[in-house]
Structure 1
């Protein structure tokens, strides 16, 4: 069960939902100069399946057995234990006519309709839109107001194509431990992966930090570079052996009303730090599939006040490569740390769209 910290009431877990139609766009524009996309492809698998990489990291559930020419939709797997609220937000739609975001299957979230954020309306230099569900609703019989839980959504849309890729993240700080929510990312077209050479992709991230052991939430941004070696590691398993390298740097943290609290967070990690440690993708063979699906591990370290190298975060990245060049990568990074507080785990869920040959 979940403990709602607003009312301290126990709320029973909801039943699992099915696939839905992520990113079903009714009018096209998010208000940030970006456009929405169409409905998802058919067919889902709940198992995900591994990339075959060094960690065996699973590709999230979604499109079953895709080819390079298929549309691909991935969504967060349903969680258990402290993460039992994961993966409930799988059906989301953007309405460009009203600049609202619709999220199904989350209780007390303003009748599923999220308004554009007030204190924080966008992240990542305006590239990603922020929506919130805190508008009270009224009892239709009595007219009495009903407070809503504090859900937040981040919506990212590619600047290429129809668009080529999209992502969405929904989290809340209104439960202990983690609340209900989820993430989704999607490729709307195809990909052509070369067998030789390397490529570099750059862009920004936008995310939400929530907590296991405390309420509330925070926003994050960062600069992400992803490099792919298309010819090494050598293919030894009948699938691609490509190596992927990622660097998440210039990381900033903001409170729920948009104040930059990065220095406070850094000092909480260790008194000698002035910034959030840079996160790296773990490099190894087999993290990229022929379809363009990719998944692997993420970690970060820092040197503490005694000169000792310490692990800060661990987690995973999930991504899909898109385009004939290929031209872009979209996905989500999820990392956790236990260094900031005693008995509280911090989770960051950050979405990204990075581009080849672009200044982002």
Structure 2
């Protein structure tokens, strides 16, 4: 019984960070997590419990792909686009009942982008963006009573993404103005803190114990962005007349799925290994899909380690990309039909990303950690 109880605590701990579904560092995929962070341990709250947390993410994207084929010459010729992304998600979750929970995620970002083609193609320069990103609020519900179903459960959630992030962040671009002068322009879509649209998120998460020391976990979210474009100019039409249909930024959907196995190494440490699939679709489910976007998806192997003691948790995950895909976009297809020439834009992806999360539970009611192992909880 004590072994299974310890396994349960490690199970909910190991998912606090990974379930935020951070994107794998594709230029096509902006920073995002689901409305309530999709953090299992944060959402297994007793009535009146609070959970405060911070998640840090870092990646460097620089490997260019068209479809699933890499373009290694971009790196060897020093023409690759390089994005450095740092983000911090600050979250607060609250147990409305033992099964119903609510939360808010306040994200901040610091991004750097280095390229040639955005600065006249002759000199490499950098652009930056920073500040508040799009705040998310949401609610979720465990389908089974957590106190009597410690062996497994499933939660469903619904949330709202607010357009609080700046979606018209600007910086200086060189060699692009009159007589090759500098000019202030919006930074690339991939490093804009916000996307300019209200969004709706749906998410799920589950866990299931398999043996005394082994468990299965998983979850995912989908962000519906009904707004088609946000009115911000990309200046891509200045690069080539055939890019006129990409002159305004799109407001794309986004999705992520994750599942794997975890193993209890001790009463405080556990390790996990899973798979992660995430990306930006070619077309939105609701609303139009026009404007400029870089659709893309990444399949990653997702190792992690977790520490939990009392109400304090620390998690580290380092997803490593196995397959990267930049499919043909709506505007790519439009250009191909108009010109009769094949067209598939590219995108830069990272090799790996780093996720580090810290959280602390403040018990207003009876928290999970206060449940005695000798009680009548069922682990069958």
TM over 0.5: no
Q: Which of the pair has the greater relative contact order for Cα pairs under 8 Å at 6+ separation?
A: 2
Which of the pair is proportionally richer in helix? 2
Larger of the two Rg values belongs to structure: 2
Tell me the TM-score normalized by structure 1.
0.33
Higher share in strand: 2
